[in-house]
Structure 1
Amino acid sequence: MNLTVFGATGGVGGEIVRQALSAGHRVTAVVRDPARLEVTGARLEVFRADLTDPEALRPAVAGRDAVLSALGSRNRKADGVTARMTRTILAAMEAEGVRRLLVVSAAPVGPEPEGDGLLDRTARRIVSAALKDVYDDLREMEAELARSSTDWTAVRPPRLQNKPLTGAYRTVVGGTPVKGRFLARTDVAHAMLAMADDPGTVKQGVGVAY
């Protein structure tokens, strides 16, 4: 596949690029600072751009089979940054007629899993309150996806960890895995790449967790 990755210098984005190249895909990594991109490869194109101008992004998405975004706020005061950046990507994709988009969201944005115990429900609500601005930003991002003409998927992991790839995780299309408390960034990337050509995840939020 011919893929474009946004947020390629982050933990999940860098893993998407690394795993995609290892699987034989062609990858365009969109970055603001190419010096921060730690991945190299013969099938890698580095595209330098900020995410304020859809016209500037059109060459980065034109003709791609799928676009994967690991963009997100780096602080608790998100100020709508993820929704704004995603809106720019959507405009560029729609201008080029590129349909497939997968983004990283978060488990608390999805529905509460049926069967979770009191401990998990309480922890979820505490985290949701502490990171309210971040999750509000992600909800607005998902609303932008729903209003778009793209074939989108919002991947919703719980708390992220820096651990090796396992490939052993649970996914719930339209829901949230019960007692899904953690997921490695490597496995988030693995799940997104696996969903890129999965029609069953189109226009869906997908909970992913161990």
Structure 2
Amino acid sequence: MKLVVFGANGPTGRQVTEQATAAGHTVTAVTRHPDAFPPGRPRLRVEEADVLDGAAVERVVAGHDAVISTLGVPYGRDPVTVYSTGLTHITRAMTLHGVRRLVCVSSTVLFDVPAPGEGVFFRKVLEPFFVRVVGRTVYDDMRRMEEIVRASGHDWTVLRPAGLFDTGEVSDYRVAPGRLPGRFTSRADLAHALVREAATEGHARTFLDVRTTEGTPRLIDLIRREAFGT
């Protein structure tokens, strides 16, 4: 397949481009900073474009079979619009060029159900603190993005991972159309699920949780990284 990947220069996006090309797909990696992208691989083309520029998005979407969005921004106090604006431009470009398949990323907290198997402190204090305080602007825009995707009329799938961490290999991860137990998703597993979904239509118009079940980090390490950048 011919895949175009937005957010390709981020940690998840790089995993997606690597796994997709290794699987034999032709990939266009879209980034604002092509000079910072890793050296080329077979079947990989790097294109400079800003997802906030609708005309640029239209240009890079043309000629592809499916779109993968791994757009992401760090927590902060300023309003966030990259998810909703970016997916507005992407879905419009897909309509213009007749591209049907879209796979993108949000967060497991958007299932709006308590974390299965977690204690009271995690469910009532820790997770709400991140959702409503530390990451409020990010999650608010993710919700706007999901509504845009849902209303687009395309064959979309939204993957909702938990706390992201880095590993070198894909594991025997779980996927389900509902919130799964566990606190973490490796970027390798998320990337694998993104590429697999983009190449099929088995979960079209579905929100999927993606959860890593082995080799996960300690919760305190995730909290330090997400809240304090350490």
**Fold equivalence (TM over 0.5):** yes
1:39 deviation in Å? Answer: 4.7
Are 1:152 and 2:190 an aligned pair? no
Percent of aligned pairs sharing the same letter: 37
Q: SS where residue 202 of structure 2 aligns?
A: helix
- Counterpart CA distance in 1 for 2:83 and 2:72 is 5
Which runs of structure 2 are paired with 1:70-149 in the superposition (5 Å)? 70-76=70-76, 77-112=78-113, 115-119=116-120, 120-122=122-124, 123-129=126-132, 130-149=134-153
- Counterpart CA distance in 2 for 1:167 and 1:138 is 26
Letter in 1 for 2:188: T
Q: Structure 1 90/125 Cα, relative in aligned 2: closer, same or farther at 3 Å?
A: same
Which runs of structure 2 are paired with 1:1-210 in the superposition (5 Å)? 1-76=1-76, 77-112=78-113, 115-119=116-120, 120-122=122-124, 123-129=126-132, 130-173=134-177, 175-178=178-181, 180-210=182-212
Q: Does structure 2 conserve the Cα–Cα contact (< 8 Å) formed by 1:90 and 1:148?
A: yes
Q: Does structure 1 conserve the Cα–Cα contact (< 8 Å) formed by 2:15 and 2:188?
A: yes
- Counterpart CA distance in 2 for 1:137 and 1:7 is 16
- Counterpart CA distance in 2 for 1:53 and 1:46 is 17
Deviations 1:122-179 (A, max 9, x none): 3322221221111111000000001102111111101000122233111112x1112x
Q: Does structure 2 conserve the Cα–Cα contact (< 8 Å) formed by 1:164 and 1:184?
A: no
How many residues are treated as equivalent by the alignment? Answer: 208
- Counterpart CA distance in 1 for 2:68 and 2:79 is 20
- Counterpart CA distance in 1 for 2:169 and 2:110 is 24
Q: Does structure 2 conserve the Cα–Cα contact (< 8 Å) formed by 1:83 and 1:144?
A: yes
- Counterpart CA distance in 1 for 2:153 and 2:39 is 32
Q: Does structure 1 conserve the Cα–Cα contact (< 8 Å) formed by 2:110 and 2:143?
A: yes
1:63 deviation in Å? Answer: 2.7
